[in-house]
A and B are shown apart, each in its own frame.
Chain A
Amino acid sequence: LSPTIGCSEIELLEADTFDLYCFQSLTGTKFFVVCEPGTQHMEALLKVVYELYTDYVLKNPFYEMKMPIRCELFDINLAQAVQKDRVALLGQ
């Protein structure tokens, strides 16, 4: 459906009550963020989450590919990253 060459995938879907950001890694793992309409810097948050994913999940020798992620450290750091983002937004 793309009018020009070089189209990869949908990066952002804007609806009435939410925005959905998507990031796809080179291996095909997809990261989605659902947020309030008009939130800034969600692409940066997605990259941060991707970094956390590689650090806590992929480098974990006990993690089996394609299984749900049950890693506490990953959850804690993820919550921290989102909280930092929220505080930064409220502080502006």
Chain B
Amino acid sequence: MQFFGGSEISPSPPTPTTTTGNNAHMIYIFNRNGVCLLYREWNRPLHTLNPQQDHKLMFGLLFSLKSLAAKMDPTSADKGNLGVPQLPGQGCSFHSFRTNSYKLSFMETPSGIKFILVTNPRTSDLRETLKYIYNLYVEYVAKNPLYTPGTPIRCELFNTAVDQYVRSI
């Protein structure tokens, strides 16, 4: 899978395919150890768990789904037992799942940073969107000399940029 296509540092955002704004419910960003670097919500009528449990459940769900996708892959030969952790680039990984009330899009970078976006179920493929948000992360967070990797993101510019971009999807 070619991850860094093109030579632009910040490619222009993909043209929105859906007409209405206010599509997205919430966004999570995790690092490879399960620390939730960012959680923002814009439209979440239902809260069932407290934030810590919610983050842990989300991370656990993603871990299990990635493992499942790698083992269920019909195109590759068998690779060991279920439950063996997969490295970021290895094996087939899922990129979204859909229920009747929401769609969850997922992207993992080679460094293990996971981006999750929860939107309404009619949204089309959001992989380009997540790549753009990753570019925002690189610009505002990774290149920030005052940011310690592995800690929650406390950068207003990044938050504003993400809010603005997501509202335009």
Contacts and interface: CB of A to CB of B under 8 A. Distances in A.
Interface in A1-26: 1-18, 20
Among the interface residues A10, A12, A14, which one has the most CB atoms of the partner chain B within 10 A? A14
Contacts of B99: 2, 7-11
Contacts, number: 84
A4 to B, nearest CB: 5
Interface residues of A, number: 20
B1 interface: yes
B57 interface: yes
Interface stretch (B3-11, B14-22, B39-47, B160-168): B39-47
Interface of A: 1-18, 20, 34
8 contacts: A1-B57, A1-B61, A3-B26, A10-B99, A13-B69, A16-B95, A17-B75, A18-B92
Interface of B: 1, 25-26, 41, 43-46, 48, 54, 57-58, 61, 65, 69, 72-76, 92-102, 118
